[in-house]
Structure 1
Amino acid sequence: MGVHGASAAEAGVSTAVATVPAEVRARLTVRFGASAEAWCDALPGVVAELAGRWRLVVRAAGGGGTARVFRCTRGAGGVSVWLKLTPDPEVARQEAAALRAWAGLASVVRVLEDDPAAGALLLADVRPGTTLRQRAWHPEEVAPLLGALRSVPVDGLALGTLAERVEFLFDLTERRVSAGAPGGVTGGTTGGAPGTATGAAAAAAIGRARALAAELADGGPSALVHGDLHPGNVLDGPAGPVAIDPRPSLGDPDFDLVDWAIDGVTDRPALERRIAVLAARVPGSDPERVLAWCRVGAVLVAAPRAAAGRRDAETAFLLELAGL
């Protein structure tokens, strides 16, 4: 039984909890366009309807650039669950499709309910739920997750290609670089210090990486790719790491190794050692392809960082790997 048309108050949902803060509205508008404003205005009512339909009590809100996430309890037993809503129904549909394809894996969060038309997913809780970004992690502990993700059948999955996904990422990178530094990756000029890049150099590096990504995406194996698999999107679970928040596509699964290869790395030997450890433990992975994808990833990660003025050893190495 649902409560279609109920107000937030009628459904027991605090309007304050469901209201989208101004800074989050701004990020959602950058990502989804002007229509995100109307979505934010309507969100308290949508949350109320879903809370009634799925028997939820909404406790707290979070999320930012692509979705709002609500910590809830469900049913008489007060089981902890997470309600996730996005302004783009297609994003919700694709995430639900991928999570259902991975449903037999303990290393992926479970989707309990979904309503793609409303941009909504109801997800199981993961305990303890700390992200791997919050602690030291080791390649050996994430390798089983990386192997499991690529192991499921992809026949019949209605998802876009990895080539389309990386094109989107490059478009987004160009917008972020432009917004961060109108004059270039660092706002500098020709002849800047090492670790800086002019607008022309950044554009050239992005162009080279875009071409390499297209070549890799067109020539590799095909599997279900998470697409946003970094330490912030992997949680500590009861039996090991658990992946959340996919941006799924079909294509070369070695793409999912990139963040694990480059995270915290500050020189080429360390990168090659990390790749060797991962490739030895993830069935079907190719260290040469992983390194090539790392060159692509270096541009996607480092160019916006540098445009925002970030100066650290990891970013400096990634700029070097990117040819910047």
Structure 2
Amino acid sequence: MAAAVDPAVAGPEQHPGNRARLIARFGPMAGPWYDALPTLVDGLARRWGLDVGEAGGGGTSRVYRCLRKGEHEGATATVWLKLTPDPVVATQEAEALSAWSDTPSVVQLLDSDPGAGALLLAGVEPGTRVRESGRRTADIARLLMDLRTAPRPRTPRLPPLSERITFMYDMAARRGAHSPEVLARGRAAALGLARTGPADGLVHGDLHPGNVLVGPGHRLVAIDPRPTFGDPDFDAADWVIDGVTDESGLRRRIAELTALVPGMSADRVLDWCRATAPLTTGAPAFLLPGGGAARMR
């Protein structure tokens, strides 16, 4: 298959505001990187045999839907070309995806060039967002179990969970997400949990429902990790917080989930919910520091 790139698809003019979002996240260096994207995409398309289609992405990357020649004559497969201006981000994601390569619960890494900030990822079918398709506790439990069973990479280049927590709270402070007091108390609680919990679990780091797709057989498939080493119970917090309205409902969710995931601590999941609530969009007020009734263990 001859590689092809539609300049209107790859070009920055096609996506107003994306350049500014990347600069806000990565600093001024992201501007020239973004301007050079058409050349970078074209080179990678030729190298990996891609027909490049529409682009998307958020504040940390650009993602291109591509077609790639399959194993059989005339067959093509949908793949995703993911690009970030920060080689460290690409390196860490590639390392984590490689560690999870034996589980179908994580998107498959087909190829990578971390120095260029480039990852080539397999398509996930049907690929609907789990938020749009509903969810079952058993499916979430299987996803979390699969993430917890990954071996530690042989040449770890991943940061500790405390570094991820510090970054997220720094970003929340820049946005003015909550009062300085709420953020300070949440940060201290989260760093305390990171310090006292497991240090060697491979943590996804951004496992909210928007970063999970529905794959074959209704298996949930995680994408877009911000991986660290630390307490894998951290990854459960977004799932039990999402849509909950009171503490009794939260405790029921945690109990249901921990009953299905060996090694998961109900107490630590609850503590992670409280410690990360200031970082969670739509977190109920009772989870915020000073926002609820007296809390009992």
TM-score (norm 1): 0.83
Match of 1:16 in 2: 8
The offset of 1:237, in angstroms, is 0.5
Q: Which 4+ runs in 1 deviate beyond 4 A?
A: none
The offset of 1:155, in angstroms, is 5.1
Letter in structure 2 aligned against 1:211: A
- Aligned pairs for 1:148-227 within 5 A: 148-154=146-152, 156=154, 157-177=156-176, 185=178, 202-221=179-198, 222-227=200-205
The offset of 1:219, in angstroms, is 1.0
- Aligned pairs for 1:90-105 within 5 A: 90-105=88-103
1:278 paired with 2:257, answer yes
Tell me the distance in 2 between the aligned counterparts of 1:30 and 1:224: 28
The offset of 1:134, in angstroms, is 1.2
Match of 1:322 in 2: 288
Match of 2:224 in 1: 245
Conserved 8 A contact 1:107-1:145: yes
Conserved 8 A contact 2:212-2:220: yes
Tell me the distance in 2 between the aligned counterparts of 1:322 and 1:171: 17
Conserved 8 A contact 2:203-2:230: yes
- Choose from 11, 25, 28 the match for 1:31: 25
User: Which has the higher mean CA deviation after the structures are superposed, 102-111 or 21-30?
Assistant: 21-30
Tell me the distance in 2 between the aligned counterparts of 1:136 and 1:155: 33
1:85 paired with 2:83, answer yes
Letter in structure 2 aligned against 1:301: T
Tell me the distance in 2 between the aligned counterparts of 1:125 and 1:287: 34
Letter in structure 2 aligned against 1:164: E
Letter in structure 1 aligned against 2:31: E
Tell me the distance in 2 between the aligned counterparts of 1:140 and 1:265: 18
Match of 2:295 in 1: none
The offset of 1:151, in angstroms, is 0.8
Tell me the distance in 2 between the aligned counterparts of 1:155 and 1:129: 27
- Aligned pairs for 1:229-244 within 5 A: 229-239=207-217, 240-244=219-223
1:289 paired with 2:268, answer yes
Letter in structure 1 aligned against 2:227: P
Change (3 A) 1:26 1:155: closer
Conserved 8 A contact 1:39-1:87: yes
Tell me the distance in 2 between the aligned counterparts of 1:287 and 1:258: 11
- Choose from 141, 144, 151 the match for 1:143: 141
Change (3 A) 1:276 1:116: same
Tell me the distance in 2 between the aligned counterparts of 1:299 and 1:26: 25
Match of 1:260 in 2: 239
The offset of 1:136, in angstroms, is 1.9
Tell me the distance in 2 between the aligned counterparts of 1:22 and 1:241: 32
Same amino acid, percent of matched pairs: 53
Unaligned runs of 5+ in 1: 1-9, 179-184, 186-201, 303-313
Conserved 8 A contact 1:29-1:35: yes
Letter in structure 2 aligned against 1:278: L
1:52 paired with 2:46, answer yes
Q: Secondary structure at the match of 2:4?
A: coil
1:65 paired with 2:65, answer no
Conserved 8 A contact 1:140-1:277: no
Change (3 A) 1:207 1:107: same
Across the aligned residues of Structure 1 and Structure 2, the Cα RMSD in angstroms comes to 1.5
Q: Secondary structure at the match of 2:176?
A: helix
The offset of 1:124, in angstroms, is 0.4
Aligned residues: 280
Letter in structure 1 aligned against 2:194: A
Tell me the distance in 1 between the aligned counterparts of 2:97 and 2:153: 15
Tell me the distance in 2 between the aligned counterparts of 1:135 and 1:203: 37
Conserved 8 A contact 1:149-1:224: yes
Alignment deviations for residues 91-127 of structure 1 (CA, whole Å, 9 cap, x no partner): 0000000000000001111000000011000000100
Tell me the distance in 2 between the aligned counterparts of 1:320 and 1:148: 31
Q: Secondary structure at the match of 1:128?
A: coil
Q: Secondary structure at the match of 2:112?
A: strand
Tell me the distance in 1 between the aligned counterparts of 2:136 and 2:244: 13
Letter in structure 1 aligned against 2:173: E
- Choose from 111, 115, 118 the match for 1:117: 115
